[in-house]
Each structure stands twice: as structure tokens, then as C-alpha cells.
Structure 1
């Protein structure tokens, strides 16, 4: 049994702590077995009254004390490990010859983003992993999935488009370039991101309205991953989380709704994709 099945079956209480810890608790009518990806900590356990397991992959501790089940999950630390496992599982159906490229793109992105974090404090690599996972669920091309892993390198690191083209190929570089702000915007943003925020977003909105379906899907996956994180962060930290952004909530709403319109525009629209519909639902949920 995996841990999510165990929590669903035995735990009827959930408590979220402000430090990113979630605690699940409940009762088991009989002794439980070691869940998948967990290790039994016999040196901390005192059978039969107390059993303790730990999972580095899930960033969880599981205890069973006199029939009472408690699971301690450090949500923020767990995210990128679980997403990586999920990505590996979904990619398992792809051709073996494509796996080295995926591993290389992940390692490259992870190395270049190693000093970066999301606004929530989680490792930045969790975001391109989210984007790649969304694209996999759309059965996107191998090159578009790789572009999902690499899409923020030019904007957020010292990597340039030419490096991506040399390391991978022209198509992947073109995908990344299509969702990267022009250099003049990036230079201005380095001075004051809030000052030219709307100009940058208006440019992106116009560009996506004219883009082909693959580029729209890549950009949509990026926005979907962002808004899912945003919903989670606001749930954990409250409305004050908006203060970390370069534009207020009402401007963010304008941007997300405008991007939805762009993705739904023209014969190359992506209105029928899962990513678009999920983004639409998230926008209604958040705003």
C-alpha cells in the first residue's frame, strides 16, 4: 500500500501547521505494513506498542502507537522529490532513447537553477518539473517536454538561447525563446520589475494570441503550474502572500484572464486541452 492510500483509508483528521507541516491522524483496526518508499526505524520503535517509519522521498514520518496512526508530512520539502518520482513514472512509457535527453535536461536545469527558490521558498526546480509533467499529461512532443524543463533558463539564469540550441536542438531553443521575454524587457526588469510589469505582460498576451498551439500549450503549462502554486501558497500563508508580487491581485487577475483569452484565440487555440481547462478552473477558484 502506498502512503496516500493509507492516509485515505485510516486517517480522518488533517491539521496544517504554519511551518509547512501537515499532520494526518486516525486509527487502524490491525497492525499496518510498511508503505511503499518507507523504511522501518527499528531503533526508534518499541514493538508492539510503537512503530515508526520514515520516507525521505515523501518527507514523511509515520507512527503507529497502540493502534493510533499519525503521519507527519513536510509539504514544502516533499514537493520536488514527489514531482520527480511522478515525472519519472509518467515518462516510463516513453521510448528508451528519449530518457537520456530527459535526464540531461533535468540535470542541466537543476544545476542552473540551484541557487534559485520560488516565492514560497521551495527549490526553483519544482516549477519546470511541474511544467514538464503537465505537458506529459497532454502527450506533448518529446521536444516540448524538454522545453518545459528548460523554459525559464534564459530569463532567470546566465544560460542563453545559443547554449540551448547547441546542447539540444533548434526546435527546443525556438520553443524556449517563444516563451522568453525580449532582452530589452529583461534588462529593464532587472532595474525595477514592478515599473514595467504591465508592459511586459501586455507583450506576452499579444504574442500568445498569435502563437501556434504548441507554444500556447507550453505557456499555458507554465501559467497553470504558477497558479497552482499560488493557490497553495495563499492557502498556507494567507492573503498577505500577494505582497511578494510585482503587481497587486487585481492586476494578476487581469493578466491570467487575458492569457486565457489568448490561448483560446484563433485556429491554433488550445481550448480543448486539459491544461487550458485546468487553468480556467484555477483562475475562477483564485479570483
Structure 2
């Protein structure tokens, strides 16, 4: 059954909230089946009294609790994420390992990036710290924040995706893999990073255009952390700082504007997130 058919069949009340949420409610005497493009959240459900589903495609979630049907439709992505977090807070079991997991990811990333520095000379671990912080402020999932800590490991160290999967789970590994350049492009970059810079960036723009909202948000946090550092470094060192990059300023502008467009494209766009708006402002400030 499609979600609109379910709403039409079971819901006789509609309430619009000022924060961009529409709530449909009604009753159903029989258990309902999972609607198309929805996923059943078994870890929040308590059969037979409570069932909960969510849909990233529609930015909705659906509950059937003690015979009452409620559909929450979200105009803005942020509302959708916040409401899902509220559901997890209300019905989910507390994950006592979350903070230790984050601490372990920080220690792991710190160790692997130990001998690396940013172009400014600062320790490289400052960048994953910034990315994770941006994601935390977006109320991103635990897995996405972990991926923020770990997102550069495959490209910049000897750590592979299988190691990340074994230590932190398949979802975290999938997020990291989604923002990692393919091996053939990385191998080409080992020879002359300037020569294939455009190929690598064009690949990233194409991939982010088709990515889901979580992957776009992870990539956006990465780009936002980078451009904030760049603005600060140019303020301190002057326009000559551009000479440290593999592409000139005009090519960098093309890339940042193209990736912004990719993040804003399609039903999985992230235009309403703080990270996207901050990145947009930084691009206008820098270029």
C-alpha cells in the first residue's frame, strides 16, 4: 500500500504545525502492513501494541500504537531528524556504549593520523574533530558522527573499509566508503595530484548529486570544515596560501559551487540543514 492510500483509508484528522510538520491521525482495528518506501523500525517497536516505520524518501514516519494510526509528514529535513531522535529517546533502549564508541573512534583516528598535518601545519586530527562536531550539531545519527571521525582514514592512511566495518559496524563503513574516492582515482593521484584533481572532484560532484541525505550531510560537514579552515588560513597568511593547493582559486571556486548544487539536488537534498547554509555563506565570503 502507498502511504497516501493508507492516509486516505485510516486517517480522518489532519493537523498542521507551525514548524513545518503535518500530522495525520486515525484508528485501525487490524495491524497495517509496511507501506511502500517505508522501513520497519523493529528496535523501537513493541509487538503487538506498538509499531513504528520511517521513510527517508518521503521524510515521514508512521506509528500504530494501541490501534491509533499517526503519520508525521515533514516539510523540512531537520524536523524529520529531530522527530526521529525524539522517537528513539522515547522508545529506544539507551545505548550505554555510544560515548565509549565515540572515544574509541577519536583515539583510533588520532593514532592513524598521528604523523599528518593540515596545509597550515596544524595536527590533522583537528579536521575530523571539526567534522564530527558539525554532525553532532545537526543531531546526526551516532553512526554518521562516527563516520565523521573516520571519514579520511581510507584515503589518507593504511586503514581499509573492512577494518572500519569490523570495528564500528557495516553502517559506519558504508558512510565512510560513500565519501571515499575510488581506489583507481587515489592511485592516479599518488603520481601527480594536480594532474587528476579535476577528475577526482568531478567524480565527487556526480556522486553527491545522487547520494542520500545522510551521505550528503557527511560530505557537507567535511567541506564546511575545510572551507572554514581555508578562510582562517588566508586571513592569517594572505592570498599566497592558495599556492599550497593542487588547483588554483578559480578551480576551487568551481568545485565548491558545484558541490553546493549537488547537495541541493533531488528529494534527498540538505538545503534546510545548518551545515548547508553555513557552507553556502562561507563560499560567498571566500569567492
TM-score normalised to structure 1 length: 0.67
CA RMSD of aligned residues (A): 1.2
Which residue number in structure 1 is paired with residue 99 of structure 2? 99
Which residue number in structure 1 is paired with residue 227 of structure 2? 227
- Residue 191 of structure 1: how far off its partner (Å): 0.6
What is the CA–CA distance in structure 1 between the aligned matches of 2:239 and 2:214, rounded to whole Å?
Answer: 34
What is the CA–CA distance in structure 1 between the aligned matches of 2:212 and 2:122, rounded to whole Å?
Answer: 32
- Residue 96 of structure 1: how far off its partner (Å): 4.2
Which residue number in structure 2 is paired with residue 163 of structure 1? 163
Cα shift readout 1:79-126 (whole Å, capped 9, x = no counterpart):
xxxxxxxxxxxxxx9964310000000000000000000000000000
Correspondence list, 1:84-95, <5 A: none
Which residue number in structure 2 is paired with residue 125 of structure 1? 125
What is the CA–CA distance in structure 1 between the aligned matches of 2:232 and 2:174, rounded to whole Å?
Answer: 32
- Residue 164 of structure 1: how far off its partner (Å): 0.4
Listed as ranges, the gaps of 5+ residues in structure 2 are: 1-88
Correspondence list, 1:188-227, <5 A: 188-227=188-227
Cα shift readout 1:141-194 (whole Å, capped 9, x = no counterpart):
000000000000000000000100011100000000000000000000011000
Correspondence list, 1:21-100, <5 A: 96-100=96-100
Is 1:149–2:126 an aligned residue pair?
no
Cα shift readout 1:62-93 (whole Å, capped 9, x = no counterpart):
xxxxxxxxxxxxxxxxxxxxxxxxxxxxxxx9
Which residue number in structure 1 is paired with residue 243 of structure 2? 243
Which residue number in structure 1 is paired with residue 112 of structure 2? 112
What is the CA–CA distance in structure 1 between the aligned matches of 2:221 and 2:103, rounded to whole Å?
Answer: 20
The SS at the match of 1:159 is coil
What is the CA–CA distance in structure 1 between the aligned matches of 2:223 and 2:182, rounded to whole Å?
Answer: 18
The SS at the match of 2:97 is helix
- Residue 249 of structure 1: how far off its partner (Å): 0.1
Across the two proteins, how many residue pairs are aligned to each other?
A: 195
What is the CA–CA distance in structure 2 between the aligned matches of 1:140 and 1:166, rounded to whole Å?
Answer: 22
What is the CA–CA distance in structure 1 between the aligned matches of 2:195 and 2:95, rounded to whole Å?
Answer: 46
What is the CA–CA distance in structure 1 between the aligned matches of 2:249 and 2:136, rounded to whole Å?
Answer: 30
Which residue number in structure 2 is paired with residue 177 of structure 1? 177
Listed as ranges, the gaps of 5+ residues in structure 1 are: 1-92
Which residue number in structure 2 is paired with residue 277 of structure 1? 277
